[in-house]
Amino acid sequence: MDSHGQYEQQVVWAVVGTDIGPLMLAATGEGLVSVVFHATQKVRETMLDRLASRLGTEPVEAPDSPLLAEAIRQMEQYFAGARRDFELPLDWSLISGFNRQVLRELASGVPYGTVVGYGDLAGRVGQPGAAQAVGMAMGANPLPVVVPCHRVVESDGGIGGFGGGLETKRKLLALEGVLPEPLF
């Protein structure tokens, strides 16, 4: 407890090696709160500062924390091709409003091995014509891979953008059988 008798929020983090490079996972008592691509030292420092600012406590590196154990296990299974769906508690506190609505629909309504267009996803949340706003929501996704923004593509068949880089998006879609494996 802190000096005001309130329980302090705990934020723990770890880096997991994957086929798309190191991912930084962070969790609170509520669940997984953040997944960060390309978790180099500089990227981690930036994200740790951002998490501390947004969540009000300093994140602690704790790869053996029970708060992270299941997320790490499921992430490893996913990249080994042994898991299609993540079954994890998620802490949605880093996202709100329209973005949260879109990401929740994405998480529950776009299964492994499928894709959806930005405009189609906008329609699913009752905002037809908001394809650009859906793109912004994808860019703000604090839980990529687990909340599968890589499954959102352009309606004309283009791959669209991706915060983790287009090569990462292609690799994730190839892992799920949507695209052929990259040759190199």
- 170 catalytic? Reply is no
Question: Which of 82, 88, 105 has the alpha carbon at shortest distance from 34?
Answer: 88
Catalytic residue among 15, 71, 149, 172: 149
**Residues carrying an active site annotation:** 149
